[in-house]
């Protein structure tokens, strides 16, 4: 490899003088921007179906659909719930899901082995018949290690990278190997619709009759911009066009795609990575509520931040996927407890068939009782930067200035309550989470 000396010649100025500062305005990374509305209904679907639900017309496209998968297909139980490794496993005769290896337990005999969670649920008063040799290699005690095939389907606006999906794939690959596939679809509806339809058709064929026909679990991630005033979703790069949420849904999720999602719908998650207008503007919020009512996803997740940054969700999306799909722990709050960086950036809005739940992060100093206030960083009276909570162990929360007499009292926002296991004192520096539940037409209990 050749190199060149880039030292400037004598007398040549390569930097502006201090009096001639350069104003640099980098392109915004946030997922909100205005765009003219178009109708996606004007162009009829290019994927025809016969009575059996199979395609009757093919399209060619220069934009190739990308499948990413690596490794061998795995059997149902292959990883030890103790050390998280492979080896000589005994599988629980009760749940037939949890296996523990001979490195972690001194079996003596594997006959009739019952895992610790099943043994405890049975309420037996006798001592556990097997002796553990180690504590285990993870934070959770004896988690499920589910290897049921999973597809991560990333659908994103052309020019936007869906880094959360890519990172989640690599996060789960050590557990799932060839039972995991990442599918990458891009859309730009200022181009002929057949380009996207060709990608979609190829994907549907693989899941209906191809290599992935046995796949039953789906994590779908849609990444695009939204229009701040309406919540419409961008359909072309560079803010050229946007469409109502329900119209974009109809194009991205035809009936054949919905049929795939019905295979095991209680395991599916839809992440909508777009700015807060999507979940806050009435028409778009109602459209997402309507999608949830189709009951194709256990969770549909949106984010409230007007200047939403998809990269802020990396840890959350990875942790949620691991807990939901590998450890089979479907509760959201256990994941949110470790997401203070995400909570400082945005609320998390969960859409389910009969309820919408908004999760909000609180912190005694940074967000007292879940209230966003500039007083958490600057005193409104003296403009000093020395505001702090009077006490971290009280409710309501009081902020006071260290340089002047100013103070203010904060209570929980209307309709919010503490999430299960949370309180203003148990989180301290990590903060704690509150939630607000909006019931839809059908009654539903939300924990």
pLDDT in tens, 274-288: 999 999 999 999 999
What's the mean pLDDT in 386-406? 82
Contact 310, 163 (CB under 8 A): yes
First to last CA, the chain: 61
What's the mean pLDDT in 30-36? 68
Please state, in angstroms and rounded to a whole number, the distance separating the CA atoms of residues 304 and 349.
Answer: 7
What burial class does residue 46 get, using C-beta atoms within 10 Å of its C-beta: 0-12 exposed, 13-18 middle, 19+ buried?
A: middle
pLDDT of amino acid 391: 64
Distances in whole angstroms, Cα of residue 435 to Cα of each of 102, 126, 209: 43, 41, 43
Between 107 and 283, name the one with better pLDDT. 283
Please state, in angstroms and rounded to a whole number, the distance separating the CA atoms of residues 228 and 239.
Answer: 12
pLDDT of amino acid 428: 64
Tokens matching residue 84: 């998280």
Residues in the chain: 447
Please state, in angstroms and rounded to a whole number, the distance separating the CA atoms of residues 292 and 351.
Answer: 6
Pairing of strands 432-439, 355-362: antiparallel
- Reported as a pLDDT band with limits 50, 70 and 90, residue 31 is low
Query: Percent of the chain scored above 70 by pLDDT?
Result: 84
- Reported as a pLDDT band with limits 50, 70 and 90, residue 30 is low
113 SS3 class: coil
Please state, in angstroms and rounded to a whole number, the distance separating the CA atoms of residues 227 and 35.
Answer: 6
131 SS3 class: strand
Beta bridge partners of 151: 181, 218
pLDDT of amino acid 138: 81
pTM: 0.83
pLDDT of amino acid 228: 94
- Reported as a pLDDT band with limits 50, 70 and 90, residue 39 is confident
- Reported as a pLDDT band with limits 50, 70 and 90, residue 140 is confident
Under CATH, which number does the domain 66-71+148-361 receive? 3.40.50
Please state, in angstroms and rounded to a whole number, the distance separating the CA atoms of residues 248 and 255.
Answer: 14
What's the mean pLDDT in 411-433? 85
Tokens matching residue 308: 């939403």
Residue among 332, 308, 267, 288 nearest 164 (CA): 308
What's the mean pLDDT in 59-85? 78
Q: Which of 179-188, 200-209, 415-424 has the lowest mean pLDDT?
A: 415-424
Please state, in angstroms and rounded to a whole number, the distance separating the CA atoms of residues 406 and 13.
Answer: 51
pLDDT digits (tens, 9 = 90+) for 142-162: 899 999 999 999 999 999 988
Residue with tokens 């191809």: 210
Domain ranges of the chain: 66-71+148-361, 80-143, 368-422
Instruction: Share the mean pLDDT of the chain.
Output: 85
Beta bridge partners of 302: 349
313 SS3 class: helix
pLDDT digits (tens, 9 = 90+) for 301-359: 999 999 999 999 999 999 999 999 999 999 999 999 999 999 999 999 999 999 999 99
């Amino acid at each position: 490899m050749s190199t060149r000396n880039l030292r400037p010649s004598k007398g040549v100025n390569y930097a502006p003088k201090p009096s001639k500062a350069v104003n640099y305005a980098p392109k915004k990374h946030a997922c909100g921007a205005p765009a003219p509305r178009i109708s996606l209904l004007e162009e009829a679907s290019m994927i025809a179906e016969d009575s059996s639900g199979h395609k009757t017309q093919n399209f060619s496209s220069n934009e190739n659909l990308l499948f990413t998968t690596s490794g061998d297909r795995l059997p149902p139980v292959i990883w030890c719930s103790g050390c998280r490794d492979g080896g000589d496993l005994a599988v629980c005769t009760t749940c037939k899901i949890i296996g523990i290896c001979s490195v972690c337990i001194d079996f003596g005999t594997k006959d009739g082995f019952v895992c610790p969670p099943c043994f405890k649920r049975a309420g037996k008063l006798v001592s556990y018949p097997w002796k553990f040799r180690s504590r285990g290699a993870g934070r959770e005690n004896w988690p499920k290690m589910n290897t049921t095939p999973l597809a991560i389907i990333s659908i994103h606006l052309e020019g936007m990278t869906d880094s959360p999906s890519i990172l989640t794939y690599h996060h789960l690959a050590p557990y799932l190997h060839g039972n995991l596939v990442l599918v990458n679809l891009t859309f730009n509806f200022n181009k002929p619709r057949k380009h996207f339809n060709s990608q979609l058709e190829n994907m549907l064929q693989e899941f209906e009759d191809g290599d992935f026909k046995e796949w039953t679990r789906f994590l779908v991630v849609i990444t695009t911009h939204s229009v701040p005033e309406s919540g419409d979703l961008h359909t072309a790069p560079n803010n050229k066009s946007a469409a109502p949420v329900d119209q974009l849904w109809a194009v991205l999720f035809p009936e054949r795609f919905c049929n795939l999602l019905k295979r095991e719908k209680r395991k599916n998650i839809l992440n909508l990575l777009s700015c807060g207008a999507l979940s806050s503007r009435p028409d778009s919020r109602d459209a997402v509520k309507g999608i949830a009512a189709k009951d194709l996803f256990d969770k549909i997740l949106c984010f409230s931040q007007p200047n939403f940054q998809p990269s802020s969700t990396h840890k959350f999306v990875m942790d949620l996927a691991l807990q939901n799909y590998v450890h089979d722990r479907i509760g959201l709050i256990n994941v949110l407890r470790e997401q203070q960086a995400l909570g400082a950036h945005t609320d998390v809005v969960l859409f389910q068939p009969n309820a919408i739940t908004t999760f909000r992060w609180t912190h005694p100093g940074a967000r007292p009782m879940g209230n966003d206030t500039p007083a958490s960083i600057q005193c409104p009276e003296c403009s000093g930067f020395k505001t702090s909570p009077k006490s971290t162990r009280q409710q309501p929360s009081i902020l006071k200035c260290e340089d002047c007499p100013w103070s203010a009292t904060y209570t929980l926002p209307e309709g919010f309550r503490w999430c299960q296991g949370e309180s203003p004192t148990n989180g301290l520096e990590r903060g704690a989470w509150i939630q607000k539940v909006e019931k839809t037409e059908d009654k539903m209990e939300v924990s």
